């Protein structure tokens, strides 16, 4: 296993799986909701079962109260015995008892030798229900009420108790059913979430396979229908691939331009060295200076390629033209240079690249013109438009496309590399601008129309 593959595996273990994360999050949320819902439902159903149990005891208590009366000796008697036979069976689990302060309790036969606990320190004028553990082997559910019967001043406490075993058994069955049902429901929901996750992430796996095919050279673009959530990602990937292809083509063209620019000076130096020319040293210095200028020029272009995506690229047009005008005027003092137009325009381009473009255009106009050069700056539909005109012989219309090719020169009698307009076009296009050649109506020579995007206001 290579180090690259090992590193990828380590990265996967570090970052985890998106599928596993989604399933775990869904499972945790499902279990949390089911646990909360199960507890709430358990309380509701257990309360309902308990309330039904208490209602039955309360019904028996009410029957005892209705049938109770005071006997000749002041004791409580029942004119109608409770119908449930369990009251007659010892330890049957269903009991009643009548108690009063200072009197012996009157229990049901089912209590046999036991008595229900009786506390006289609280008043149960309304029905009081509670759990009792007074019998060691039997938990009770007790319902009691204090009443004063007719022809008696004694406050009697009527109690009905029943073993909780039946109630607890019902609640246990209910809870086992709830747990099993909710476990099955939770398992089903987790499986559903897993299936949904696998199906939902299927387009991403398809996208990964498409990218692998692209990397393997089998396709050059990602195609096929994708969900609306993934389609923008596919569009951006295809745009990135197209952008990289353009970058690669620009790099190849840039390398070709540089190679062509260096080829001629090197040839001149080799020829002078082979012929042992007397001016060899001057030739080497001159051509080396030319090569250095070309290298600097192409490095500037390479920097422009790297900066073109920056939204902060800004250059004031008029100061750049003035700076170039001063440099050209020193090189060609016999040329008259006039400038006109707006002085407040700012182009979306780096100042160094704008200086490079204007240097090429204005130097060409001064070199190949008849002695007059005119520069105009204007704004046009979101672009800064710069016109450079000269009074030279111009360029025939059929040659205006070919002249942008690297190394193309119409006047070979003057020194140069034939790269000026080619580099101007390349750098302008890097910033989404254009360069076109026309005929000057005022001066009669060549008119170069340069359009660069206008910079956004800060």
Residues 198, 201, 204, CA angle at the centre, nearest 5°? Answer: 140
What global pTM score does this model have?
A: 0.53
Confidence of residue 167 (pLDDT cuts 50, 70, 90): very high
- Going from N- to C-terminal start, the domains of the chain cover 245-296, 312-453
**Percent with pLDDT over 90 in the chain:** 37
CA-CA-CA-CA dihedral for 232, 235, 241, 247, to nearest 10? -90
- Which residue's structure tokens are 């060409």? 364
HEC profile for 368-427? Answer: HCCCEEEEEEEEECCEEEEEEEECCCCCCHHHCCHHHCCCCCCCCCCCCCCCHHHHHHHH
pLDDT at 6: 58
Mean pLDDT across 449-456:
90
CATH of domain 312-453: 3.30.565.10
% residues pLDDT > 70 (the chain): 88
Q: Are 105 and 115 in contact (CB under 8 A)?
A: yes
Q: In whole angstroms, give the CA distance from residue 60 to residue 85.
A: 13
pLDDT at position 244 is 81
Are residues 406 and 256 in contact, defined by beta-carbon separation less than 8 angstroms? yes
User: Residue 327 in 3-state DSSP?
Assistant: helix
The distance from CA 254 to its chain's CA centroid, rounded to whole angstroms, is 38
Q: Is 141 exposed, middle or buried (0-12, 13-18, 19+ CB in 10 A)?
A: buried
Give the model's pLDDT for residue 7.
63
Q: What is the residue-wise DSSP string for 265-278?
A: HHHHHHHHHHTT-T
> Is the per-residue pLDDT at 124 higher than 80?
no
Burial (Cβ within 10 Å: 0-12, 13-18, ≥19) of residue 123: exposed
Which pLDDT belongs to residue 93?
92
Residue bearing the bigger pLDDT, 116 or 395: 116
Residue 415 has pLDDT above 50, yes or no: no
Residues 6+ apart with CB under 8 A from 60: 82, 84, 96, 143, 160
Q: Summarize the confidence of residues 146-170 as an average pLDDT.
A: 90
pLDDT for 411 equals 47
If you average pLDDT over every residue of the chain, what do you get?
84
How crowded is residue 53: how many other Cβ atoms within 10 Å of its Cβ?
A: 19
When mean pLDDT is compared across 36-50, 250-264, 273-287, 291-305, the lowest value belongs to 291-305
417-432 tens-digit pLDDT = 344 677 788 788 888 8
Residue 412 has pLDDT above 60, yes or no: no
Q: Worst-scoring range by mean pLDDT, 119-123, 377-381, 382-386?
A: 119-123
Total residue length of the chain: 458
Q: 306-350: per-residue pLDDT in tens?
A: 555 455 678 999 999 999 999 999 989 999 999 999 999 999 988
The per-residue pLDDT for range 360-370, each reduced to its tens digit, is 899 989 988 88
């Amino acid at each position: 296993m290579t180090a690259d593959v090992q590193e990828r595996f380590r990265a996967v273990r570090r970052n985890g799986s998106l599928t596993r994360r989604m399933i775990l999050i869904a499972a945790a949320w499902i279990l949390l909701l089911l646990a909360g819902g199960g507890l709430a439902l358990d309380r509701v159903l257990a309360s309902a079962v308990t309330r039904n149990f208490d209602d039955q005891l309360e019904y028996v208590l009410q029957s005892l109260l209705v049938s109770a009366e005071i006997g000749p000796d002041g004791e409580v008697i029942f004119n109608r015995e409770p119908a449930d036979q369990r009251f007659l069976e010892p330890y049957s689990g269903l009991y009643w008892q009548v108690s009063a302060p200072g009197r012996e309790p009157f229990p049901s036969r089912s209590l046999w030798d036991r008595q229900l606990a009786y506390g006289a320190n609280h008043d149960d004028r309304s029905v009081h229900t509670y759990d009792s553990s007074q019998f060691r082997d039997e938990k009770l559910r007790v319902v009691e009420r204090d009443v004063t019967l007719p022809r008696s001043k004694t406050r009697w406490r009527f109690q009905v108790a029943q073993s909780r075993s039946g109630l607890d058994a019902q609640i246990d069955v209910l809870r086992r059913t709830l747990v099993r049902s909710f476990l099955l429901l939770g398992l089903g929901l987790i499986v559903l979430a897993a299936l949904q996750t696998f199906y939902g992430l299927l387009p991403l796996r398809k996208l990964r396979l498409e990218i692998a095919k692209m990397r393997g050279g089998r396709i050059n673009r990602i195609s096929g229908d994708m969900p609306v959530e993934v389609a923008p990602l596919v569009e951006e990937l295809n745009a990135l691939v197209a952008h990289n292809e353009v970058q690669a083509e620009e790099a190849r063209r840039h390398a070709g331009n540089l190679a062509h620019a260096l080829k001629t000076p090197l040839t001149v130096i080799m020829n002078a060295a082979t012929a042992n020319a007397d001016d060899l040293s001057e030739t080497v210095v001159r051509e080396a200076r030319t090569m250095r200028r070309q290298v600097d020029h192409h490095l500037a272009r390479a920097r422009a390629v790297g900066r073109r995506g920056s939204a902060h690229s800004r250059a004031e047009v008029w100061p750049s033209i003035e700076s170039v005008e001063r440099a050209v005027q020193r090189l060609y003092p016999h040329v008259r240079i006039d400038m006109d137009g707006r002085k407040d325009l700012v182009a979306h381009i780096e100042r160094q690249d704008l200086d490079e473009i204007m240097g090429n255009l204005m130097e060409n106009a001064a070199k190949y013109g008849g002695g007059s050069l005119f520069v105009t700056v204007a704004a046009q539909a979101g672009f800064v438009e710069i016109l450079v005109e000269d009074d030279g012989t111009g360029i025939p219309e059929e040659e205006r496309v070919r002249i942008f090719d690297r190394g193309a020169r119409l006047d070979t009698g003057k020194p140069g590399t034939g790269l000026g307009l080619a580099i101007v076009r390349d750098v302008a296009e890097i910033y989404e601008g254009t360069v076109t050649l026309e005929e000057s109506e005022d001066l009669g020579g060549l008119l170069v129309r340069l359009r660069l995007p206008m910079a956004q206001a800060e």
